[in-house]
């Protein structure tokens, strides 16, 4: 912040004025607001559940400003480095002249986990498409590279989020500054990806131009947020290995409409994991044959699966020489002084005074650095011995204390050391840097190595010195898009997850309603009336059917104590409700890229508070009842958001279809259980059926207090206007299936739904026409069970048709799995 002469660096002047106007308390308040905004949008952590405080990214309200002229120097230096690393990779995966003439020692390549031999001989026209570098600024004011990132550097999503949130929470800070925008970088990136398609002319003839997909390991990846964010920014499909298949040397995405070709794959999975056939055969997230498709040019993978080889920390020691040799230029952006310990002289320097150095594995850029100065003598001894034994495995970097930047700590600003990550992308030979970056406060031991899972980050501002420098995004010529309405492009896995999310949310709501029905009776105290025991037994059966309690509790004694115990157990760690919460969290996370930020926030916040209420219910029925209200609030929120905010396309169709299927099945089974009574007791069953279907008030307004079987059954089974009744669900299912794009199976499925509507109407008419309605009603349960089975069967068939069985791919011929039994897995099945 301060220059060598004690003066304020110019980039800080504007900022300091604004902070002064806010005052310490004001800034702290904004800091808290910023933190809250991050929590609400789920940037900090993903799943509701045990909070993971050490895995949280926070944004400091104080940005890191860099003058445009300084940033231009950084950019120029990094562009040269990117070109250099690209040339090195092209040589290593091609002629290997750098090895043949001894410019590079063999261990840096052949003992390098990032060096993928399967990539040798691949088309190397642009092996490096994306590049990032970690920079530190030393006491002399010069930026130096601490690590080159060629594999798929994370953090760009956080950088963009930081900017978005900061300008929302501190508008007065961003407004007066001549701040360069981040967005043009993503437009440039997106455009460059389209040009990577090997035959743009051919792929452009398909609707929508070349198809780009971003390959992620999935929700279990710590970078999931980033991948989701990037896919959205780059307007490409977010896919997992299981969504892809290679046929005839071409890469396809499995969608509802069938296989769709993918031209460009933005790789965010580790290179060695993307093809179990040629690379790591233990990988379960790869696509067999992907390397063959890439080799033949049918798909371009960016960055190349072997690009990580250039991340080797020891390479820094050779870059000045390599730059002269390969580019015939002087290296502009220096690395932090680095030695490769395979050289005797370098080794001697480090052995003489180990405390001056950071020790890093020579070829693993993700390993954390070791600092002998901070090690116990015995540990240092062990490390030095390891270096002595295999010196070529090690590199040493000079310890440069990174420059500090003011960060908000409590209500005060404190200077903390920062590392800056800058991101660059190439478009046919032209490299550009994002005009900003991700700065993060370095904790001890985090200087080198992979991005930590969380910490304090800062938005990076590139400040124009003059207004005339402001350059808007260059308009890109985009082809005129055809209007598209259907959503067959939805990957089958996403449709599957939405369908099951719908089912689980409904199942949760049903559990909540049933538990409330039971608790309201149990909480009346003292002993239960015989009628209440009958009702409770029905409710208990419904709860068993819903998987909430075990069948042991169906017999309800007059105290109801056993049932109360079982209900309370549903909120324990292993209880049914907790499992439902876990299922819903997992599914919500897996479809997160289909939800807007607000929708996601609504879903997760209400889910989180429902879960907390359930956990806090303790052993009281009151607490349980309160938690059930919370659950209701959650399921209502989902329903509301889905109804009001989701486009009626493929995603919504499957979410709603899941919900309607589940409810149709539940309503039918519950009514069957409720009216499974002898004719004299049928009235009790009918009353319960109305209660469970939330239809008592409607009934009363229609029929006053006269309870008769046919009108009750009409309301809960056949009335197409009752959203809690069966017919409503069947009609909805019918029209949802009708919206799915392809004719054959659609008509068959829709036909089943229509048939069920007719069947239900006939049932109710039969009761109405019967001489003894009570007798006729008490005969219904077996038929209702038959309908429930048909609904279950329809659900299975839809799952099979639209979500495709995904058997697990297995390796053969390598001895690993030759004897194992095939396990066919259905995704998403609860």
Partner 1 sequence: MRYRISHTTTYDYARPVDLASHMLHLLPRDVPGQSVMSAALEAEPLPGRMNLADDHFGNHVSWMFLDRRHDRFSVTLKAEVDVFFQPPPPVDETLPWEDVAAVALAGGPGAWQAAEFLFDSPMLPAEPAAGAYAVVSFPPGRPVLEGLLDLNARIRKEFSFKPGVTNVQTTVAKVLSQRAGVCQDFTHLMIAGLRAIGLPARYVSGYLRTRPPPGQPARRGADQSHAWVGAWMGPAHGWVDLDPTNNLVVKDEHVVLAYGRDYSDISPVRGVILGGGRHNVSVGVDLEAVE
The residues of the shown chain that bind partner 1, judged by CB under 8 A, are 96, 99-102, 104-107, 110-111, 117-118, 120-121, 245-249, 276-278, 281, 288-289, 292, 295-296, 342, 392, 807-816, 818-819, 821-822, 824
Judged by CB, which is closer to partner 1: 276, or 512?
A: 276
Please give the full DSSP string across 337-370, using - where no structure is assigned: PEEETTSHHHHHHHHH-GGGEEEEESS-TTSPPB
**Shortest distance in whole angstroms from residue 289 CB to partner 1:** 5
Judged by CB, which is closer to partner 1: 389, or 705?
A: 389
435's torsion region: left (phi>0), alpha (psi -120 to 50) or beta?
A: beta
Bridge partners (DSSP) of residue 179 are 463
Q: Determine how many CB atoms are found less than 10 A away from the CB of residue 387.
A: 19
Judged by CB, which is closer to partner 1: 10, or 297?
A: 297
Judged by CB, which is closer to partner 1: 382, or 471?
A: 382
**Shortest distance in whole angstroms from residue 369 CB to partner 1:** 22
Q: How far apart are CA 697 and CA 705, in angstroms?
A: 10
- Using alpha carbons, select from 47, 710, 819, 155 the residue that is nearest to residue 451: 155
Judged by CB, which is closer to partner 1: 483, or 812?
A: 812
Judged by CB, which is closer to partner 1: 136, or 339?
A: 339
For the chain, the distance separating the N- and C-terminal CA atoms, rounded to the nearest angstrom, is 56
Judged by CB, which is closer to partner 1: 176, or 807?
A: 807
**Shortest distance in whole angstroms from residue 286 CB to partner 1:** 9
**Shortest distance in whole angstroms from residue 269 CB to partner 1:** 16
Helices 682-692 and 650-674, axial angle in degrees (round to 10): 160
- Using alpha carbons, select from 368, 461, 493, 661 the residue that is nearest to residue 9: 461
Judged by CB, which is closer to partner 1: 205, or 389?
A: 389
**Shortest distance in whole angstroms from residue 628 CB to partner 1:** 44
Judged by CB, which is closer to partner 1: 158, or 392?
A: 392
Q: How far apart are CA 57 and CA 384, in angstroms?
A: 35
Q: How far apart are CA 683 and CA 652, in angstroms?
A: 39
Size (the chain), residues: 830
Please give the full DSSP string across 372-429, using - where no structure is assigned: GGGS-HHHHHHHHHHHHHSGGGEEEEE--PPPEEEEEETTEEEEEEEEEEEEEEEETT
Judged by CB, which is closer to partner 1: 28, or 259?
A: 259
- Using alpha carbons, select from 575, 657, 610 the residue that is nearest to residue 256: 657
Q: How far apart are CA 135 and CA 402, in angstroms?
A: 9
**Shortest distance in whole angstroms from residue 105 CB to partner 1:** 6
**Shortest distance in whole angstroms from residue 806 CB to partner 1:** 9
**Shortest distance in whole angstroms from residue 378 CB to partner 1:** 21
Judged by CB, which is closer to partner 1: 21, or 805?
A: 805
CB neighbours of 431 closer than 8 A, spacing ≥ 6? 78, 79, 82, 83, 131, 424, 425
* Residue that is written with structure tokens 């009409």 in the block: 714
Judged by CB, which is closer to partner 1: 298, or 336?
A: 298
Q: Is the backbone peptide bond immediately before 12 cis, with ω within 30 degrees of 0?
A: no
**Shortest distance in whole angstroms from residue 368 CB to partner 1:** 21
CB neighbours of 544 closer than 8 A, spacing ≥ 6? 550, 551, 553, 554
Q: How far apart are CA 78 and CA 133, in angstroms?
A: 8
C-alpha to C-alpha distances, 196 to 67, 414, 427, 453, 828, nearest whole angstrom: 33, 45, 8, 31, 34
**Shortest distance in whole angstroms from residue 490 CB to partner 1:** 22
Contact 627, 614 (CB under 8 A): yes
- Residue 280: φ, ψ to 5°: -65, 110
Judged by CB, which is closer to partner 1: 70, or 111?
A: 111
Q: How far apart are CA 87 and CA 673, in angstroms?
A: 72
**Shortest distance in whole angstroms from residue 214 CB to partner 1:** 23
Q: How far apart are CA 536 and CA 527, in angstroms?
A: 13
Judged by CB, which is closer to partner 1: 56, or 806?
A: 806
Contact 418, 36 (CB under 8 A): no
**Shortest distance in whole angstroms from residue 102 CB to partner 1:** 3
Judged by CB, which is closer to partner 1: 103, or 178?
A: 103
**Shortest distance in whole angstroms from residue 292 CB to partner 1:** 5
**Shortest distance in whole angstroms from residue 478 CB to partner 1:** 35
Helices (H), ranges, 111-182 = 156-169, 171-174
Judged by CB, which is closer to partner 1: 164, or 810?
A: 810
- Using alpha carbons, select from 513, 789, 489, 504 the residue that is nearest to residue 651: 489
- Using alpha carbons, select from 461, 616, 121, 562 the residue that is nearest to residue 554: 562
Judged by CB, which is closer to partner 1: 269, or 464?
A: 269
**Shortest distance in whole angstroms from residue 125 CB to partner 1:** 18
Task: Say if residue 24 is exposed, middle or buried (CB neighbours under 10 Å; 0-12, 13-18, 19+).
Answer: middle
**Shortest distance in whole angstroms from residue 106 CB to partner 1:** 3
**Shortest distance in whole angstroms from residue 819 CB to partner 1:** 7
Judged by CB, which is closer to partner 1: 274, or 564?
A: 274
Contact 500, 795 (CB under 8 A): no
Q: How far apart are CA 531 and CA 506, in angstroms?
A: 29
- Residue 414: φ, ψ to 5°: -125, 140
**Shortest distance in whole angstroms from residue 306 CB to partner 1:** 10
Q: Determine how many CB atoms are found less than 10 A away from the CB of residue 475.
A: 7
């Amino acid at each position: 912040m301060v220059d060598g002469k004690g003066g304020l660096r110019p980039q800080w002047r504007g900022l300091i004025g604004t902070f002064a106007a806010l005052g310490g308390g004001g800034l702290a308040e904004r800091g808290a607001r910023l933190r809250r905004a991050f929590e609400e949008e789920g940037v900090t952590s993903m799943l509701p559940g045990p909070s993971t405080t050490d895995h949280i990214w926070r944004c400091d309200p104080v940005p890191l400003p860099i003058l445009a002229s300084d940033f231009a120097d950084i950019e120029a230096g990094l562009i040269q480095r990117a070109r250099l690393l690209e040339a090195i990779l092209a040589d290593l995966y091609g002629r290997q002249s750098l090895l043949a003439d001894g410019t590079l020692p063999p261990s840096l390549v052949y003992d390098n986990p990032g060096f993928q031999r399967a990539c040798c001989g691949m088309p190397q026209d642009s092996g490096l498409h994306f590049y990032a570098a970690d920079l530190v600024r030393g006491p002399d004011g010069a930026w130096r590279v601490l690590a080159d990132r060629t594999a798929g550097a994370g953090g760009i999503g956080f950088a963009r989020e930081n900017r978005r949130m900061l300008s929302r929470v501190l508008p007065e800070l961003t407004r007066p500054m001549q701040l360069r925008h981040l967005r043009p970088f993503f437009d440039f990136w997106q455009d460059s990806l389209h040009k990577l398609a090997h035959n743009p002319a051919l792929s452009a003839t398909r609707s929508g131009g070349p198809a780009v997909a971003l390959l992620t390991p999935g929700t279990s990846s710590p970078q999931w947020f980033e991948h989701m964010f990037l896919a959205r920014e780059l307007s490409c499909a977010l896919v997992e290995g299981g969504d892809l298949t290679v046929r005839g040397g071409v890469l396809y995405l499995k969608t509802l409409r069938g296989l769709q070709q993918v031209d460009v794959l933005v790789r965010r999975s580790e290179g060695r994991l993307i093809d179990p056939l040629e690379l790591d055969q233990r990988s379960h997230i790869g696509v067999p044959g992907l390397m063959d498709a890439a080799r033949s040019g049918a798909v371009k993978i960016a960055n190349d699966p072997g690009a990580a080889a250039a991340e080797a920390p020891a390479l820094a020691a050779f870059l000045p020489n390599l730059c002269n040799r390969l580019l015939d230029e002087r290296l502009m952006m220096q690395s932090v002084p680095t030695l490769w310990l395979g050289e005797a002289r370098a080794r001697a320097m480090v052995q003489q005074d180990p405390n001056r150095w950071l020790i890093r594995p020579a070829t693993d850029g993700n390993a954390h650095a070791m600092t002998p100065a901070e090690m116990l003598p015995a540990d240092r001894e062990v490390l030095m011995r390891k270096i002595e034994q295999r010196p070529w495995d090690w590199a040493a970097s000079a310890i440069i204390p990174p420059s500090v930047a003011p960060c908000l700590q409590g209500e005060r600003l404190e200077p903390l050391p920062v590392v800056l990550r800058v991101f660059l992308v190439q478009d046919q030979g032209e490299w550009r840097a994002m005009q900003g970056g991700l700065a993060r406060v370095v904790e001890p031991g985090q200087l080198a190595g992979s991005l930590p899972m969380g910490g304090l980050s800062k938005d990076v501002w590139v400040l124009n010195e003059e207004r005339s420098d402001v350059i808007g995004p260059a308009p890109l010529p985009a082809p005129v898009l055809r209007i598209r309405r259907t959503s067959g492009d939805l990957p089958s896995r996403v449709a599957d997850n939405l369908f099951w999310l719908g089912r689980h949310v409904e199942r949760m709501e049903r559990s909540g309603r049933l538990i409330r029905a039971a608790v309201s009776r149990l909480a009346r105290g003292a002993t239960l009336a015989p009628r209440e025991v009958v009702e409770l037994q029905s409710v208990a059966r419904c709860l068993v059917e819903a998987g909430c309690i075990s069948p042991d509790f169906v017999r309800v004694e007059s105290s109801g104590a056993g049932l109360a115990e079982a209900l309370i157990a549903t909120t324990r760690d292993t209880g049914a409700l907790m499992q439902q919460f876990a299922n819903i969290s997992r599914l919500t996370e897996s479809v997160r890229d289909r939800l807007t930020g607000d929708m996601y926030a609504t879903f997760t916040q209400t889910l989180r508070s429902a879960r907390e209420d359930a956990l806090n219910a303790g052993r009281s029925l009151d607490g349980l009842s309160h938690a059930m209200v919370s659950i209701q609030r959650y399921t209502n929120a989902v329903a509301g958001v889905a109804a009001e905010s989701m486009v009626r396309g493929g995603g919504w169709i499957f979410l709603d279809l899941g919900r309607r299927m589940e409810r149709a099945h539940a309503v039918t089974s519950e009514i069957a259980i409720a009216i499974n009574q002898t004719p004299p007791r049928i009235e009790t069953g009918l009353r319960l059926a109305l209660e469970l279907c939330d239809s008592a008030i409607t009934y009363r307004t229609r029929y006053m207090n006269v309870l008769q079987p046919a009108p009750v059954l009409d309301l809960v089974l056949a009335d197409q206007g009752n959203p809690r009744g069966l017919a409503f669900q069947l009609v909805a299912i019918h029209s949802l299936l009708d919206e799915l794009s392809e004719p054959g199976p659609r008509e068959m499925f829709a036909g089943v739904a229509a048939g069920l509507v007719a069947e239900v109407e006939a049932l109710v008419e039969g009761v109405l026409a019967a001489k003894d309605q009570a007798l006729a009603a008490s005969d219904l349960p077996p038929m209702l069970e038959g309908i429930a089975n048909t609904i279950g069967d329809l659900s299975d068939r839809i799952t099979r048709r639209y979500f495709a069985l995904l058997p697990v791919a297995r390796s053969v011929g390598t001895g690993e799995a030759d004897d194992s039994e095939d396990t066919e897995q259905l995704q998403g099945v609860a």
